[in-house]
Amino acid sequence: MAAPTRTPRTPAETAILDRFAEVRDALPGGDAVKAERAEAFARFERQGLPHRRVEEWKYSDLRARLKSTAPLAARPSAEEARAALAAVTDVFTDVDRHRLVLVDGRLRPELSDVDGLSVEKAAVAGLTERLATGAPELLRVPEIAAGDIAVALNTAFVSEGVVVEVADGVRLSKPVEILHVATSGAPAARFARVVVNLGKDASATVVANAVGGGADGETNIVFDYRVGEGARLTVAARQAENAGTVHLASTFVRLAARAELKHLTVAAGADFARHQSFVSFGGKGAKAALYGATMIDGKRHIDQTLVVDHAVPQCDSAELFKTAIDDRATAVFQGLIMVRPDAQKTNGKMMSQALLLSDEAQMASKPELEIFADDVVCGHGATSGQIDESQLFYLMARGIPRREAERLLIEAFLDEAIDAVGDEAIAGALRRTVSAWLAKRAGQAS
């Protein structure tokens, strides 16, 4: 009987194996934390990097994309951290907010408003320090994300990040911006984890902003939102890392009874990006609304993947994702709503809409429902098409030049998702990201 064949490891996979052997003993955490890391890395050893034969990654072949992998980012000095922060444009300058700055994943208290959050009864700590004193629960992931290799690699390697804990009943008076700045220069791999824990009946708005980076850099960041009973969380996530970067962002949301979530992702950066969200309902009466606005051009690739797990009764979820694709770029939307047998009275709906701005633009849409309960209202849909010629004609007939008319229609298309965040100052800042992308598009066409 012939032995089963095994796919040879790629140079990137071999480098990852060697690197973990080199750094695992130096990573923060006691025996319980090390056990979490070892279990996660064993999963990578068995499966390797995800590729097109892995169903969840069939449209985003990470193994083919990562021909090699960069060394782990060195800890930047105070001067390097300040210079990296000064080099990025602050699109949220009009938003009155608390700011927490992570440079290459590491919390920089000297650049952050830790004291302001403390006054509002929100505790802030670096992930490194929390792991060093134990806290293996900070590395544990929801069941629906346990098999994902991007998540497993983050769990294995992560040592930097931030933990924010908002006490029961506390309602933060202004948003918390968690700014992840990736330094430029030599290629580097950056791992970070952001944990936000909202107590019972607490309320917070989080702006997750990822910027910077350089050629051949890699970012693997996890956002872990734990929303207590009756708590309300609004998240506006913006990804604008530099060209040449591979950006992997995984978001976990765990909703207790009567908790409410509103989450928006705006993606306009990196050469290869995957934004994946895993939403788990853990108590009756919870609600989740997820939105996305993606702008992509050149030969870039951006993937929006979503898994919503209705495990308990009487919960609502709604998703609307908008994508504008130009040049030879490719975009992906994968959305799965799971309704388990006990999740009666579930209400779930999902829609993906793509605007193809060139003949070579490509969109892959895969909305799915898995329903094992019989008293539910669920639906999904996906559309892809070009700009409506009748709308374009209407604007041009009123003296608006074609390129400007296209800009107005694209903005209106994406604004439906951006406006849903419900905060005009934050929405205005995100619209500037859209405007910058459209201005670049207009400049390339002129």
pLDDT in tens, 104-147: 999 999 999 999 999 999 999 999 999 999 899 999 999 999 99
pLDDT band at 445 (very low <50, low <70, confident <90, very high): low
Does 106 reside within a domain?
Answer: yes
Per-chain mean pLDDT for the chain: 94
Is-contact 107 176, C-beta < 8 A?
Answer: no
Does 5 reside within a domain?
Answer: no
Q: What is the pLDDT of residue 186?
A: 81
> How many domains does the chain contain in total?
1
Does 346 reside within a domain?
Answer: yes
Is-contact 360 390, C-beta < 8 A?
Answer: no
Does 24 reside within a domain?
Answer: yes
Does 36 reside within a domain?
Answer: yes
Structural domain range at position 220: 11-387
Does 87 reside within a domain?
Answer: yes
Q: In the numeric block, which tokens belong to residue 278?
A: 């895993």
Q: What is the pLDDT of residue 6?
A: 56
pLDDT in tens, 364-383: 999 999 999 999 999 999 99
pLDDT in tens, 407-439: 999 999 999 999 999 999 999 999 999 999 999
* For residues 272-300, average pLDDT: 97
Does 38 reside within a domain?
Answer: yes
* Weakest mean pLDDT among 81-95, 208-222, 292-306, 310-324: 208-222
Is-contact 294 321, C-beta < 8 A?
Answer: yes
Q: What is the pLDDT of residue 314?
A: 98
pLDDT band at 215 (very low <50, low <70, confident <90, very high): low
pLDDT in tens, 241-266: 998 899 999 999 999 999 999 999 99
pLDDT in tens, 33-54: 999 999 999 999 999 999 999 9
Does 396 reside within a domain?
Answer: no
